[in-house]
Structure 1
Amino acid sequence: MVSQEFTDKANAVNGLTKTPTNDELLELYGLYKQATVGDNNTPQPSVFNMKNNYKWKAWDKLKGTSQEDAEKQYIKLADELLQKYN
């Protein structure tokens, strides 16, 4: 179960006035999935499905990170992005 702070940050990031870089968005995605789902146990998408493949890799590289640590990292990154893009 994620904290209210995590939920608030996720909502705030969705309302950014400028779009973060693709790398920042992928890192955010991976941390979000790790914090809310845990380790990635889904099959890797086809290399021809580039967008989903990048998202899968961003999540998969966090395998072994606890959901609590991923949540803390997500909140920290969200704070940085909110400062940078709002």
Structure 2
Amino acid sequence: MSHAYFEKAASEAKKLKTQPNREEVNELYGLYKQATNGDLESERPGILDILGRRKWDSWMGKKGLSKEEAMAAYVELVEKLKRKYGI
């Protein structure tokens, strides 16, 4: 997977005509963070930080994927969302 395709997909994800649902946004977030930073190494945020916990869970769920695998999955998901929501 080329880094250029990944960057293009990241740009296109921001241009979707309709906001993806929460599950799709979480999946995008987790794949993007795994692709750009690799495995998450921090502790889970406290119980009162609902958004932080959601993001942490999404990213932690991708642990073990290589950056290349995460990039490919991210691009594939963006293509699916483009078909579903338009750009």
TM-score, normalised relative to structure 1: 0.95
User: 2:12 maps to which residue?
Assistant: 12
User: 2:62 maps to which residue?
Assistant: 62
Shift of 1:4: 0.6
Could you tell me the percent identity over the aligned residues? 36
Tell me the alpha carbon deviations over residues 10-46 of structure 1, each in whole angstroms, 9 at most, x when there is no partner.
0001011100000000000000000000000122111
Letter in 2 for 1:34: Q
Alignment of 1:32-51 (within 5 A): 32-51=32-51
TM-score, normalised relative to structure 2: 0.94
Equivalents in 1 of 2:7, 2:80: separation in Å? 16
Letter in 1 for 2:62: L
User: 1:79 maps to which residue?
Assistant: 79
**5+ long unaligned stretches in structure 2:** none
User: Where does structure 1 differ by over 6 angstroms across 4 or more consecutive aligned residues?
Assistant: none
Shift of 1:74: 0.3
Corresponding residue SS for 2:84: helix
Shift of 1:71: 0.5
Shift of 1:47: 1.3
User: 1:23 maps to which residue?
Assistant: 23
Q: CA RMSD in A?
A: 0.9
